[in-house]
Amino acid sequence: SVYAKDSPKCDPKLFEIGVPVLGICYGHQLIAHALGGEVREGGAGEYGTTKLEVSNSSGILKGMSGAEDVWMNHRDVVEKPPAGFRISASTDKTKAAVFENPARKIYGVQFHPEVTHTVNGMKILENFVKMTGAKREWTAKNFLEQSIEEARDVIGGRKAVIGLSGGVDSSAAAVIVSDAVGKNLTAVYVDTGLMRKGETEEIRQVFSKFDLDLRIIDAGERFFKALKGVKDPEQKRKIIGKLFIDIFDENAKEVGAEVLVQGTIYSDRIESGITKHSSNIKSHHNVGGLPKKMKLEVYEPLREIYKDEVREVAREAGLPKEITEREVFPGPGLAIRMLGEVTPEKAEIVRETSAIVTEELKAAGLYDKIWMGFTVLLPVKSVGVQGDERSYKYPLVVRIIESKDAMTANFSKIPFEVLEKISSRITNEVREVNRVVYDITNKPPATMEWE
Protein backbone atom coordinates (compact mmCIF):
# COMPACT_ATOMS: atom_id res chain seq x y z
CA SER A 1 0.00 0.00 0.00
CA VAL A 2 1.15 3.56 -0.69
CA TYR A 3 0.28 4.31 2.94
CA ALA A 4 2.60 1.65 4.39
CA LYS A 5 5.56 3.13 6.25
CA ASP A 6 8.21 1.19 4.33
CA SER A 7 6.52 1.17 0.90
CA PRO A 8 8.62 2.43 -2.03
CA LYS A 9 8.19 6.12 -2.88
CA CYS A 10 9.58 8.39 -5.56
CA ASP A 11 10.66 12.02 -5.66
CA PRO A 12 7.65 14.09 -6.86
CA LYS A 13 10.09 16.11 -8.98
CA LEU A 14 10.21 13.09 -11.28
CA PHE A 15 6.84 14.16 -12.64
CA GLU A 16 8.02 17.68 -13.42
CA ILE A 17 10.98 16.98 -15.72
CA GLY A 18 8.90 16.33 -18.83
CA VAL A 19 9.83 12.69 -19.53
CA PRO A 20 7.10 10.10 -20.18
CA VAL A 21 6.11 8.13 -17.07
CA LEU A 22 4.06 4.91 -16.96
CA GLY A 23 2.86 3.53 -13.62
CA ILE A 24 1.78 -0.12 -13.50
CA CYS A 25 -0.29 -1.56 -10.62
CA TYR A 26 1.41 -0.14 -7.50
CA GLY A 27 3.05 2.49 -9.73
CA HIS A 28 -0.42 3.55 -10.88
CA GLN A 29 -1.44 4.07 -7.25
CA LEU A 30 1.84 5.80 -6.40
CA ILE A 31 1.35 8.38 -9.16
CA ALA A 32 -2.14 9.15 -7.89
CA HIS A 33 -0.93 9.43 -4.29
CA ALA A 34 2.11 11.59 -5.14
CA LEU A 35 0.14 14.04 -7.29
CA GLY A 36 -2.82 14.60 -4.95
CA GLY A 37 -5.24 11.89 -6.02
CA GLU A 38 -7.00 9.50 -3.64
CA VAL A 39 -6.08 5.86 -3.02
CA ARG A 40 -8.11 3.60 -0.74
CA GLU A 41 -8.24 -0.05 0.22
CA GLY A 42 -10.67 -1.89 -2.01
CA GLY A 43 -13.64 -3.74 -0.53
CA ALA A 44 -12.61 -6.87 -2.45
CA GLY A 45 -9.50 -7.80 -4.33
CA GLU A 46 -9.32 -7.98 -8.09
CA TYR A 47 -7.21 -10.97 -9.14
CA GLY A 48 -6.82 -12.65 -12.50
CA THR A 49 -8.49 -11.90 -15.83
CA THR A 50 -10.83 -8.89 -15.70
CA LYS A 51 -12.89 -7.04 -18.31
CA LEU A 52 -11.65 -3.50 -18.93
CA GLU A 53 -14.12 -1.05 -20.46
CA VAL A 54 -12.20 1.46 -22.59
CA SER A 55 -13.78 4.93 -22.77
CA ASN A 56 -10.91 6.81 -24.44
CA SER A 57 -8.78 4.99 -26.98
CA SER A 58 -6.17 7.66 -27.57
CA GLY A 59 -2.94 8.16 -25.64
CA ILE A 60 -1.72 5.05 -23.83
CA LEU A 61 -4.75 3.04 -25.02
CA LYS A 62 -4.36 3.94 -28.70
CA GLY A 63 -5.63 1.10 -30.88
CA MET A 64 -7.84 -0.38 -28.16
CA SER A 65 -11.59 -0.06 -27.76
CA GLY A 66 -14.64 -1.65 -26.13
CA ALA A 67 -13.96 -4.47 -23.68
CA GLU A 68 -10.41 -5.75 -23.20
CA ASP A 69 -9.17 -8.73 -21.17
CA VAL A 70 -6.56 -7.55 -18.66
CA TRP A 71 -4.73 -9.20 -15.75
CA MET A 72 -5.32 -7.69 -12.31
CA ASN A 73 -3.56 -8.40 -9.02
CA HIS A 74 -4.52 -5.76 -6.43
CA ARG A 75 -6.75 -4.75 -3.55
CA ASP A 76 -6.09 -1.02 -3.11
CA VAL A 77 -7.69 1.20 -5.78
CA VAL A 78 -7.38 4.74 -7.06
CA GLU A 79 -10.61 6.37 -5.87
CA LYS A 80 -9.88 9.68 -7.58
CA PRO A 81 -7.09 10.50 -10.05
CA PRO A 82 -4.99 13.68 -9.61
CA ALA A 83 -6.33 17.01 -10.88
CA GLY A 84 -5.87 17.38 -14.62
CA PHE A 85 -5.98 13.61 -15.30
CA ARG A 86 -8.73 11.88 -17.24
CA ILE A 87 -10.09 8.39 -16.64
CA SER A 88 -9.74 6.39 -19.85
CA ALA A 89 -10.87 2.92 -18.75
CA SER A 90 -12.67 1.20 -15.87
CA THR A 91 -13.62 -2.22 -14.50
CA ASP A 92 -16.52 -3.24 -12.28
CA LYS A 93 -14.39 -2.76 -9.16
CA THR A 94 -11.95 -0.07 -10.28
CA LYS A 95 -13.36 3.13 -11.73
CA ALA A 96 -9.96 4.67 -12.49
CA ALA A 97 -8.33 1.54 -13.95
CA VAL A 98 -6.50 3.76 -16.44
CA PHE A 99 -5.84 7.46 -16.01
CA GLU A 100 -3.64 9.77 -18.02
CA ASN A 101 -2.48 13.30 -18.61
CA PRO A 102 -1.14 13.37 -22.18
CA ALA A 103 0.06 16.97 -21.85
CA ARG A 104 2.35 15.94 -18.98
CA LYS A 105 3.05 12.51 -20.54
CA ILE A 106 2.03 10.72 -17.34
CA TYR A 107 0.01 7.50 -17.50
CA GLY A 108 -1.22 4.94 -14.96
CA VAL A 109 -2.73 1.48 -15.46
CA GLN A 110 -3.97 -0.65 -12.57
CA PHE A 111 -3.55 -3.94 -14.47
CA HIS A 112 -0.40 -5.66 -15.78
CA PRO A 113 0.19 -5.03 -19.50
CA GLU A 114 3.52 -6.88 -19.35
CA VAL A 115 1.98 -10.32 -18.83
CA THR A 116 0.57 -12.47 -21.60
CA HIS A 117 -2.88 -12.71 -20.01
CA THR A 118 -3.48 -9.03 -20.82
CA VAL A 119 -4.37 -9.74 -24.44
CA ASN A 120 -3.31 -6.36 -25.88
CA GLY A 121 -0.77 -5.55 -23.22
CA MET A 122 2.10 -5.37 -25.70
CA LYS A 123 0.18 -2.72 -27.64
CA ILE A 124 0.06 -0.55 -24.51
CA LEU A 125 3.79 -0.98 -23.94
CA GLU A 126 4.49 -0.25 -27.61
CA ASN A 127 2.43 2.95 -27.33
CA PHE A 128 4.53 4.02 -24.35
CA VAL A 129 7.84 3.12 -25.99
CA LYS A 130 6.89 5.28 -28.99
CA MET A 131 6.19 8.18 -26.63
CA THR A 132 9.69 7.86 -25.18
CA GLY A 133 11.39 7.77 -28.57
CA ALA A 134 13.35 4.70 -27.46
CA LYS A 135 14.29 1.98 -29.94
CA ARG A 136 13.47 -1.70 -29.55
CA GLU A 137 16.94 -3.20 -29.91
CA TRP A 138 16.86 -6.34 -27.72
CA THR A 139 17.29 -9.55 -29.65
CA ALA A 140 18.28 -13.03 -28.55
CA LYS A 141 21.33 -12.81 -30.80
CA ASN A 142 22.52 -9.53 -29.25
CA PHE A 143 21.89 -10.83 -25.75
CA LEU A 144 23.83 -14.03 -26.46
CA GLU A 145 26.82 -12.15 -27.83
CA GLN A 146 26.86 -9.66 -24.95
CA SER A 147 26.45 -12.41 -22.36
CA ILE A 148 29.37 -14.42 -23.71
CA GLU A 149 31.53 -11.30 -23.57
CA GLU A 150 30.31 -10.51 -20.03
CA ALA A 151 31.03 -14.07 -18.86
CA ARG A 152 34.51 -13.85 -20.33
CA ASP A 153 35.11 -10.58 -18.45
CA VAL A 154 33.63 -11.77 -15.12
CA ILE A 155 35.21 -15.22 -14.98
CA GLY A 156 38.41 -14.42 -16.81
CA GLY A 157 40.99 -17.21 -16.58
CA ARG A 158 39.40 -18.78 -13.51
CA LYS A 159 37.67 -22.15 -13.46
CA ALA A 160 33.91 -22.40 -12.91
CA VAL A 161 31.24 -24.99 -12.12
CA ILE A 162 27.59 -24.91 -13.11
CA GLY A 163 24.69 -26.78 -11.61
CA LEU A 164 23.15 -28.39 -14.68
CA SER A 165 19.56 -29.58 -14.24
CA GLY A 166 18.83 -30.17 -17.91
CA GLY A 167 16.20 -27.43 -17.88
CA VAL A 168 16.39 -24.61 -20.40
CA ASP A 169 17.71 -22.06 -17.86
CA SER A 170 20.78 -23.95 -16.67
CA SER A 171 21.40 -25.34 -20.16
CA ALA A 172 21.41 -21.88 -21.74
CA ALA A 173 23.68 -20.59 -18.97
CA ALA A 174 26.03 -23.54 -19.54
CA VAL A 175 26.30 -22.86 -23.28
CA ILE A 176 26.96 -19.14 -22.71
CA VAL A 177 29.74 -19.75 -20.20
CA SER A 178 31.17 -22.68 -22.12
CA ASP A 179 31.52 -20.45 -25.19
CA ALA A 180 33.21 -17.85 -22.98
CA VAL A 181 35.68 -19.95 -20.99
CA GLY A 182 35.76 -23.32 -22.76
CA LYS A 183 37.24 -26.21 -20.78
CA ASN A 184 37.44 -24.06 -17.65
CA LEU A 185 33.73 -24.88 -17.08
CA THR A 186 32.65 -28.10 -15.33
CA ALA A 187 28.94 -29.00 -15.45
CA VAL A 188 27.64 -30.83 -12.38
CA TYR A 189 24.30 -32.66 -12.57
CA VAL A 190 23.06 -33.74 -9.15
CA ASP A 191 20.61 -36.64 -9.00
CA THR A 192 18.83 -35.78 -5.75
CA GLY A 193 16.53 -38.79 -5.78
CA LEU A 194 13.80 -36.23 -6.42
CA MET A 195 14.03 -36.11 -10.20
CA ARG A 196 11.44 -37.00 -12.84
CA LYS A 197 11.16 -40.52 -14.20
CA GLY A 198 14.11 -41.33 -16.48
CA GLU A 199 15.54 -37.84 -16.08
CA THR A 200 19.13 -38.69 -15.21
CA GLU A 201 19.59 -41.03 -18.14
CA GLU A 202 18.03 -38.49 -20.51
CA ILE A 203 20.46 -35.82 -19.29
CA ARG A 204 23.37 -38.19 -19.83
CA GLN A 205 22.30 -38.88 -23.40
CA VAL A 206 21.52 -35.26 -24.37
CA PHE A 207 24.63 -33.64 -22.94
CA SER A 208 27.05 -36.33 -24.10
CA LYS A 209 26.69 -34.60 -27.48
CA PHE A 210 28.09 -31.33 -26.11
CA ASP A 211 31.72 -30.39 -25.47
CA LEU A 212 31.18 -30.24 -21.71
CA ASP A 213 33.01 -31.70 -18.73
CA LEU A 214 29.85 -33.32 -17.33
CA ARG A 215 29.77 -34.92 -13.88
CA ILE A 216 26.70 -36.84 -12.73
CA ILE A 217 26.50 -37.10 -8.93
CA ASP A 218 24.22 -39.68 -7.28
CA ALA A 219 23.23 -37.86 -4.07
CA GLY A 220 19.78 -39.26 -3.31
CA GLU A 221 20.70 -40.69 0.10
CA ARG A 222 22.23 -37.37 1.19
CA PHE A 223 19.11 -35.39 0.25
CA PHE A 224 16.62 -37.75 1.89
CA LYS A 225 18.73 -37.83 5.06
CA ALA A 226 18.93 -34.01 5.19
CA LEU A 227 15.16 -33.67 4.62
CA LYS A 228 14.09 -36.32 7.13
CA GLY A 229 11.34 -34.97 9.40
CA VAL A 230 11.20 -31.58 7.64
CA LYS A 231 7.70 -30.39 6.69
CA ASP A 232 7.97 -26.61 6.20
CA PRO A 233 8.31 -25.76 2.47
CA GLU A 234 10.70 -22.86 3.00
CA GLN A 235 12.93 -25.01 5.17
CA LYS A 236 12.88 -27.72 2.50
CA ARG A 237 14.01 -25.24 -0.13
CA LYS A 238 16.82 -23.86 2.03
CA ILE A 239 18.09 -27.33 3.00
CA ILE A 240 18.11 -28.37 -0.64
CA GLY A 241 19.83 -25.13 -1.64
CA LYS A 242 22.55 -25.59 0.96
CA LEU A 243 23.14 -29.23 0.03
CA PHE A 244 23.41 -28.30 -3.66
CA ILE A 245 26.04 -25.72 -2.74
CA ASP A 246 27.93 -28.22 -0.57
CA ILE A 247 28.08 -30.64 -3.51
CA PHE A 248 29.13 -27.90 -5.91
CA ASP A 249 31.79 -26.79 -3.42
CA GLU A 250 33.14 -30.33 -3.25
CA ASN A 251 33.36 -30.60 -7.04
CA ALA A 252 34.71 -27.07 -7.36
CA LYS A 253 37.52 -27.97 -4.97
CA GLU A 254 38.39 -31.02 -7.07
CA VAL A 255 38.73 -28.97 -10.26
CA GLY A 256 40.02 -25.79 -8.61
CA ALA A 257 36.96 -23.68 -9.51
CA GLU A 258 36.27 -20.30 -7.93
CA VAL A 259 32.97 -19.40 -9.61
CA LEU A 260 29.51 -21.00 -9.38
CA VAL A 261 27.40 -20.36 -12.49
CA GLN A 262 23.61 -20.55 -12.08
CA GLY A 263 20.66 -20.39 -14.46
CA THR A 264 18.75 -17.92 -12.27
CA ILE A 265 16.21 -15.87 -14.23
CA TYR A 266 14.44 -12.66 -13.25
CA SER A 267 11.19 -14.28 -12.10
CA ASP A 268 13.23 -16.45 -9.67
CA ARG A 269 14.70 -13.30 -8.14
CA ILE A 270 11.31 -11.59 -7.81
CA GLU A 271 9.62 -14.55 -6.10
CA SER A 272 12.58 -15.02 -3.77
CA GLY A 273 12.29 -11.42 -2.56
CA ILE A 274 15.78 -10.59 -3.78
CA THR A 275 14.82 -7.11 -4.97
CA LYS A 276 14.40 -4.44 -2.30
CA HIS A 277 10.61 -4.13 -2.25
CA SER A 278 9.54 -7.56 -3.55
CA SER A 279 7.84 -10.05 -1.26
CA ASN A 280 9.47 -13.39 -0.51
CA ILE A 281 6.78 -15.61 -2.04
CA LYS A 282 9.01 -18.68 -2.03
CA SER A 283 12.76 -19.20 -1.97
CA HIS A 284 14.10 -20.57 -5.22
CA HIS A 285 16.94 -22.89 -4.24
CA ASN A 286 19.35 -20.98 -6.49
CA VAL A 287 18.44 -17.58 -4.98
CA GLY A 288 16.75 -17.39 -1.59
CA GLY A 289 17.86 -20.94 -0.80
CA LEU A 290 21.55 -20.09 -0.96
CA PRO A 291 23.49 -19.93 2.32
CA LYS A 292 24.70 -16.48 3.37
CA LYS A 293 28.33 -17.57 3.56
CA MET A 294 29.53 -19.20 0.36
CA LYS A 295 32.99 -20.28 -0.73
CA LEU A 296 32.22 -19.71 -4.41
CA GLU A 297 31.52 -16.48 -6.26
CA VAL A 298 28.08 -16.68 -7.91
CA TYR A 299 27.60 -15.62 -11.53
CA GLU A 300 24.13 -15.56 -13.17
CA PRO A 301 24.18 -14.69 -16.90
CA LEU A 302 20.36 -14.90 -17.25
CA ARG A 303 19.47 -12.87 -14.16
CA GLU A 304 17.72 -10.04 -16.06
CA ILE A 305 15.49 -11.99 -18.47
CA TYR A 306 12.29 -14.05 -18.30
CA LYS A 307 11.57 -17.64 -19.30
CA ASP A 308 10.22 -16.88 -22.79
CA GLU A 309 13.36 -14.83 -23.51
CA VAL A 310 15.57 -17.63 -22.15
CA ARG A 311 13.97 -20.02 -24.64
CA GLU A 312 14.77 -17.57 -27.46
CA VAL A 313 18.38 -17.34 -26.31
CA ALA A 314 18.63 -21.14 -26.04
CA ARG A 315 17.38 -21.56 -29.61
CA GLU A 316 19.84 -18.92 -30.80
CA ALA A 317 22.62 -20.81 -29.00
CA GLY A 318 21.75 -23.97 -30.94
CA LEU A 319 20.34 -26.09 -28.13
CA PRO A 320 18.08 -28.95 -29.32
CA LYS A 321 14.29 -28.87 -29.02
CA GLU A 322 14.29 -31.44 -26.19
CA ILE A 323 16.02 -28.75 -24.12
CA THR A 324 14.53 -25.50 -25.46
CA GLU A 325 10.95 -26.78 -25.19
CA ARG A 326 11.53 -28.88 -22.07
CA GLU A 327 8.77 -28.73 -19.51
CA VAL A 328 9.61 -26.55 -16.53
CA PHE A 329 10.79 -28.42 -13.43
CA PRO A 330 11.52 -26.78 -10.06
CA GLY A 331 15.06 -26.81 -8.64
CA PRO A 332 13.98 -28.59 -5.43
CA GLY A 333 12.40 -31.26 -7.62
CA LEU A 334 9.69 -33.53 -6.26
CA ALA A 335 10.39 -32.37 -2.69
CA ILE A 336 7.91 -29.52 -3.15
CA ARG A 337 5.34 -31.73 -4.85
CA MET A 338 4.71 -33.79 -1.72
CA LEU A 339 3.25 -31.68 1.06
CA GLY A 340 4.82 -32.45 4.40
CA GLU A 341 7.77 -34.75 5.01
CA VAL A 342 9.88 -35.94 2.08
CA THR A 343 10.43 -39.71 1.84
CA PRO A 344 11.68 -42.03 -0.93
CA GLU A 345 8.29 -43.78 -0.96
CA LYS A 346 6.35 -40.54 -1.48
CA ALA A 347 8.84 -39.40 -4.13
CA GLU A 348 8.19 -42.61 -6.07
CA ILE A 349 4.41 -42.01 -5.96
CA VAL A 350 4.79 -38.48 -7.32
CA ARG A 351 7.35 -39.60 -9.91
CA GLU A 352 5.14 -42.39 -11.29
CA THR A 353 1.90 -40.38 -11.28
CA SER A 354 3.55 -37.35 -12.90
CA ALA A 355 4.88 -39.64 -15.62
CA ILE A 356 1.32 -40.84 -16.27
CA VAL A 357 0.15 -37.21 -16.65
CA THR A 358 2.93 -36.55 -19.16
CA GLU A 359 2.20 -39.72 -21.14
CA GLU A 360 -1.51 -38.96 -21.42
CA LEU A 361 -0.94 -35.33 -22.40
CA LYS A 362 1.40 -36.49 -25.17
CA ALA A 363 -1.08 -39.13 -26.30
CA ALA A 364 -3.81 -36.48 -26.52
CA GLY A 365 -1.57 -34.07 -28.47
CA LEU A 366 -1.69 -31.52 -25.64
CA TYR A 367 1.85 -31.72 -24.24
CA ASP A 368 3.31 -28.96 -26.45
CA LYS A 369 0.43 -26.61 -25.58
CA ILE A 370 0.99 -26.51 -21.83
CA TRP A 371 3.62 -24.99 -19.55
CA MET A 372 3.81 -27.85 -17.08
CA GLY A 373 1.77 -30.81 -15.89
CA PHE A 374 2.45 -32.71 -12.67
CA THR A 375 0.96 -34.23 -9.55
CA VAL A 376 0.99 -33.16 -5.90
CA LEU A 377 0.75 -35.67 -3.05
CA LEU A 378 -1.30 -34.48 -0.08
CA PRO A 379 -0.37 -35.37 3.53
CA VAL A 380 -3.81 -36.84 4.26
CA LYS A 381 -5.73 -39.98 3.36
CA SER A 382 -9.28 -40.47 2.12
CA VAL A 383 -11.77 -43.33 2.10
CA GLY A 384 -12.45 -45.11 -1.16
CA VAL A 385 -13.82 -48.35 -2.58
CA GLN A 386 -11.48 -50.56 -4.60
CA GLY A 387 -12.15 -54.20 -5.41
CA ASP A 388 -15.39 -54.14 -3.39
CA GLU A 389 -13.35 -53.26 -0.32
CA ARG A 390 -12.83 -50.11 1.70
CA SER A 391 -9.56 -48.37 0.93
CA TYR A 392 -7.84 -45.64 2.91
CA LYS A 393 -5.18 -44.08 0.73
CA TYR A 394 -3.67 -40.84 -0.52
CA PRO A 395 -5.66 -38.32 -2.58
CA LEU A 396 -3.60 -36.81 -5.39
CA VAL A 397 -3.82 -33.41 -7.08
CA VAL A 398 -3.23 -33.04 -10.81
CA ARG A 399 -1.95 -29.58 -11.79
CA ILE A 400 -1.71 -28.62 -15.48
CA ILE A 401 -1.06 -24.98 -16.34
CA GLU A 402 -0.40 -22.67 -19.26
CA SER A 403 2.00 -19.73 -19.15
CA LYS A 404 4.62 -17.92 -21.16
CA ASP A 405 6.74 -15.90 -18.76
CA ALA A 406 6.25 -17.74 -15.42
CA MET A 407 4.92 -14.58 -13.77
CA THR A 408 1.29 -15.48 -14.40
CA ALA A 409 -0.47 -18.71 -15.33
CA ASN A 410 -3.88 -20.19 -16.12
CA PHE A 411 -5.02 -23.68 -15.26
CA SER A 412 -5.34 -25.61 -18.50
CA LYS A 413 -8.86 -26.50 -19.62
CA ILE A 414 -8.01 -30.11 -20.37
CA PRO A 415 -10.89 -32.14 -21.92
CA PHE A 416 -12.72 -34.23 -19.34
CA GLU A 417 -12.04 -37.46 -21.20
CA VAL A 418 -8.28 -36.85 -20.90
CA LEU A 419 -8.58 -36.04 -17.20
CA GLU A 420 -10.67 -39.17 -16.71
CA LYS A 421 -7.99 -41.28 -18.44
CA ILE A 422 -5.32 -39.76 -16.19
CA SER A 423 -7.42 -40.41 -13.08
CA SER A 424 -8.22 -44.00 -14.06
CA ARG A 425 -4.61 -44.86 -14.83
CA ILE A 426 -3.33 -43.35 -11.58
CA THR A 427 -5.84 -45.13 -9.35
CA ASN A 428 -5.35 -48.42 -11.25
CA GLU A 429 -1.56 -48.37 -11.56
CA VAL A 430 -0.42 -46.67 -8.36
CA ARG A 431 -1.55 -48.71 -5.37
CA GLU A 432 -1.12 -45.93 -2.81
CA VAL A 433 -3.68 -43.56 -4.43
CA ASN A 434 -7.49 -43.85 -4.46
CA ARG A 435 -8.63 -40.34 -5.38
CA VAL A 436 -7.58 -37.74 -8.00
CA VAL A 437 -8.60 -34.07 -8.03
CA TYR A 438 -7.81 -31.32 -10.56
CA ASP A 439 -6.46 -27.92 -9.50
CA ILE A 440 -8.36 -25.12 -11.28
CA THR A 441 -6.57 -22.17 -9.64
CA ASN A 442 -4.72 -19.54 -11.67
CA LYS A 443 -1.54 -17.65 -10.75
CA PRO A 444 -2.30 -15.34 -9.03
CA PRO A 445 -3.79 -16.01 -6.51
CA ALA A 446 -1.94 -19.36 -6.40
CA THR A 447 1.65 -20.07 -7.37
CA MET A 448 2.50 -22.67 -9.98
CA GLU A 449 3.77 -25.15 -7.42
CA TRP A 450 1.95 -25.96 -4.18
CA GLU A 451 5.04 -25.26 -2.08
Please provide the CATH number assigned to the domain covering 344-438. Answer: 3.30.300.10
Q: Pairing mode, if any, of strands 213-218 and 185-191? A: parallel
- What pLDDT score does 14 carry? 93
Region 266-278: mean pLDDT is 62
Q: Which residues contact 393 (CB under 8 A, 6 or more apart)?
A: 381, 382, 384, 431, 432, 433, 434, 435
10 has catalytic annotation: no
- What pLDDT score does 406 carry? 76
How crowded is residue 138: how many other Cβ atoms within 10 Å of its Cβ? 11
Q: Which of 16, 26, 1 is nearest to 106 (CA)?
A: 16
% of the chain beyond a pLDDT of 90: 73
Exactly one of 25, 46, 74, 100 is catalytic; name it: 25
Exactly one of 33, 74, 112, 284 is catalytic; name it: 112
How crowded is residue 250: how many other Cβ atoms within 10 Å of its Cβ? 12
Average pLDDT, rounded, for the chain: 91
Tens-digit pLDDT profile for residues 103-141: 999 999 999 998 888 999 999 999 999 999 998 889 999
- Indicate left, alpha or beta for 248 from its phi (over 0: left) and psi (-120 to 50: alpha): alpha
25 has catalytic annotation: yes
- Of residues 289 and 441, the one with the higher pLDDT is 441
Tens-digit pLDDT profile for residues 411-438: 999 999 999 999 999 999 999 999 999 9
Which of these CATH numbers, 3.40.30.10, 2.60.34.10, 3.40.50.620, 3.40.50.2300, describes 140-325? 3.40.50.620
Region 80-84: mean pLDDT is 96
286 pLDDT more than 50: no
Least confidently predicted of 39-43, 221-225, 319-323, 428-432: 39-43
Which of these CATH numbers, 3.30.700.30, 3.40.50.300, 1.20.1630.10, 3.40.50.880, describes 12-132? 3.40.50.880
Exactly one of 79, 114, 126, 297 is catalytic; name it: 114
Does residue 175 sit in helix, strand or coil? helix
Region 347-373: mean pLDDT is 97
Contact 444, 409 (CB under 8 A): no
Backbone φ, ψ for residue 322 (5° rounding): -65, -15
Does residue 382 sit in helix, strand or coil? strand
0.85 cut: is pTM over it?
A: no
Contact 109, 121 (CB under 8 A): no
- What pLDDT score does 288 carry? 45
432 has catalytic annotation: no
**Three-state SS across 59-127?**
HHHCCCCEEEEEEEEEEEEEEECCCCCEEEEECCCCCCCEEEECCCCEEEECCCCCCCCCCCHHHHHHH
Q: Pairing mode, if any, of strands 372-377 and 257-261? A: unpaired
- What pLDDT score does 292 carry? 60
- Indicate left, alpha or beta for 121 from its phi (over 0: left) and psi (-120 to 50: alpha): alpha
270 pLDDT more than 90: no
> With bands split at pLDDT 50, 70 and 90, how would you rate the model's confidence at 282?
very low
Tens-digit pLDDT profile for residues 43-60: 778 888 899 999 999 899
Domain ranges for the chain: 12-132, 140-325, 344-438
**In the structure, how many helices (H) and strands (E) does the chain have?**
12, 16
Tens-digit pLDDT profile for residues 231-253: 999 999 999 989 998 998 899 99
Length of the chain measured in residues: 451
Question: Is there a common fold for 140-325 and 344-438?
Answer: no
